[in-house]
Structure 1
Amino acid sequence: MTMNLKGTSSYTDFRFRFFPKRFIQTVYYKNIAGFYMENMKDFFPDWKEGKDAYFQFPNLRVQSFGGSTAYVMKKDFSLKSIYTQGEWQKESRGSWVPFMDYDLSIFRDVIDGKKSKETQYSFGGSMGYFYNWVLGSKKRVNIAPNVSLGVGGMFSSSWDILDDGSKANRENTGYFTFKFTTGLHIGYNTDRFLFGGKFNVNANVYNETENQTVQNNNIFGLLYIGYRFPPPKVVERNYNRMQKKIPIL
């Protein structure tokens, strides 16, 4: 029933992180298709939740290519233990972490047989604080909250695509943006097993007009469980040699 009322959607997110020294380099690709209007009562007062269908945008597709560059200011703080669980931090530590973000998003839609396209370029800087609170006599439990605030800019270019492939009604705009991010990671570590969960909230806000504010929110969670396999000696030895020559590994 919910599927009929809200339509169908799909979400794909590929994300890669590299850790050269105290830098964290992230690159990602996201593809989202199928949307619906959540605040129906603001436009249709007689609309009834659970009975009437949401206004849907089944052909709306958003592709995003982007990344971020961050720097951990405190030397003995491991952000890798929060992001990838690739390390096990055994002492409570916190650190300020400045970020630079950049993103290219492409919007495509078809309404009443009419194609439209919009590209958005955004960039910004933010300052975050991460803390990894380690609990227990054996240092196995960690609770790691984080929060960050930032500002930036976004430039948008949109147009209609005519039947012959030409562009019409082109419009260029620019906005000043605010960004807020927060999250919580709770994990449990042993020499072999690890498991836990994460919860993150990302919010971007900008004023489209003097009387209209646009807010884009992303809320997501993750549960994980893993097992640490000891690497073969020959692999560990060769990896350590390569890491000395290529620190990004």
Structure 2
Amino acid sequence: MALKHCIGFFFSGILGCFAQEDSLRVRYFKKFDDNISTKLSINSTSNSFVLNDVVNNRRYDIVPNDRERIDLSLGYRAIAVSFGFAPDFLATNKDNSDSKLFNLNFRAFHNQWTQSFDLYSQSGFYLKTGDVSVVLPDMKTFKIGGQTSYVLNKNFSFRAMAAQSEWQQKSAGSLIPTLSLYYTKFRFKIEDFDETAHIYTAAISPAYYYNFVIRKNFYISLGTAPGIGMEYVDSDISALYQIEFNVALGYASDTFFAGINSNVKSFTSNTGSDVQWGDAVARGEIYVGYRFKPPKKLTEISEKINEKLPFKK
């Protein structure tokens, strides 16, 4: 009888330690898996390119016309999706009637895994070299791809920074190994010259992010992701270098959240040939959002879907 009590006391102590560890971990951030998160933002997104003529030592910047977009984002449980458009009534867009920009961003979470999906389609560029600037109204680019990441520190909330579906309540950071895969179709057209390039890139990076919590409701998030990989352009393979920076400042509470977010992702190839490519995606946004309980019917449908998919609450 005494042996049974000792065994029971032993295992109760072990389970109590695990429960205490989980309790401490939960206090680092608060989850809102059972809430719908809505976000309205005004942002500027662009995919620009650099062409280096090694022989003549000349740099060509291929820059899209500035376009500001209005985005609407919805997040519920493991899924976050956003879509946007660039209306002409915004001041920056009024002089860019020949420019077009469409992008779609999707992000899914599963435990410590996160998967992003990005699509960019744009037309209307400037070719700049030195003091010369040439309009390229017929130039078009299309980019599709995404990133697969794994958060090593369970106390760090990547969702709080990337999707605002959680609330980081105690400062924490994490190393986040990331795999990036993208395809870009680049059509360069000017007068009688019309060429299309197909660019495939793959890179791995040991990204690191940190959420600084300031006076409970305010936070600053910083992140960087240097990486290396390969680029395949029209049968030519070359080394690829990636660098990504993220800076965010925000306010979070149980229902209302708002903030400013800036992200720059840059790819540079080292072909050793006469011409070298550079590719950068920059995004800045100002947003406000609100969380609320979903309709009961939506919860029931979500529960049925969760039973068949690997995503958890």
Q: Does 1:87 align with 2:166?
A: yes
Q: TM-score, normalised by structure 2?
A: 0.64
**Equivalent residue, structure 2, for 1:144:** 221
**Equivalent residue, structure 1, for 2:111:** 21
Q: What's the CA shift for 1:233?
A: 4.8
Q: What's the CA shift for 1:218?
A: 2.8
Which letter maps to 1:197? I
Indicate which of 168, 171, 181 corresponds to 2:244. 181
**Equivalent residue, structure 1, for 2:180:** 101
SS of equivalent residue, structure 2 residue 281: strand
**Equivalent residue, structure 2, for 1:164:** none
Q: What's the CA shift for 1:216?
A: 2.5
Q: Does 1:198 align with 2:277?
A: no
State the alpha-carbon separation in 2 of the partners of residues 134 and 233 from structure 1. Answer: 33
Which letter maps to 1:22? Q
Once the two structures are aligned, what percentage of the paired residues are identical?
26
Which letter maps to 2:262? F
SS of equivalent residue, structure 1 residue 81: helix
Q: Does 1:34 align with 2:111?
A: no
Which letter maps to 1:112? E
Deviates more, 1:24-33 or 1:146-155: 24-33
**Equivalent residue, structure 1, for 2:278:** 215
**Equivalent residue, structure 1, for 2:290:** 227
Query: Is the 8 Å Cα contact of residues 239 and 271 (structure 2) preserved in structure 1?
Result: no
State the alpha-carbon separation in 1 of the partners of residues 307 and 174 from structure 2. Answer: 25
Q: What's the CA shift for 1:245?
A: 5.0
Query: Is the 8 Å Cα contact of residues 134 and 140 (structure 1) preserved in structure 2?
Result: yes
Larger of the two Rg values belongs to structure:
2
C-alpha change, 1:35 and 1:208, in structure 2 (3 Å) is: farther
SS of equivalent residue, structure 1 residue 209: coil
Which letter maps to 1:40? G
Q: Does 1:122 align with 2:201?
A: yes
Query: Is the 8 Å Cα contact of residues 260 and 285 (structure 2) preserved in structure 1?
Result: yes
C-alpha change, 1:6 and 1:191, in structure 2 (3 Å) is: closer
Which letter maps to 1:152? G
State the alpha-carbon separation in 2 of the partners of residues 101 and 60 from structure 1. Answer: 25
Structure 2, unaligned stretches of length 5 or more?
A: 1-91
State the alpha-carbon separation in 2 of the partners of residues 66 and 218 from structure 1. Answer: 12
State the alpha-carbon separation in 2 of the partners of residues 112 and 38 from structure 1. Answer: 16
**Equivalent residue, structure 1, for 2:102:** 12
State the alpha-carbon separation in 2 of the partners of residues 123 and 57 from structure 1. Answer: 29
SS of equivalent residue, structure 2 residue 106: strand
SS of equivalent residue, structure 1 residue 19: strand
Provide the aligned length of Structure 1 versus Structure 2.
221
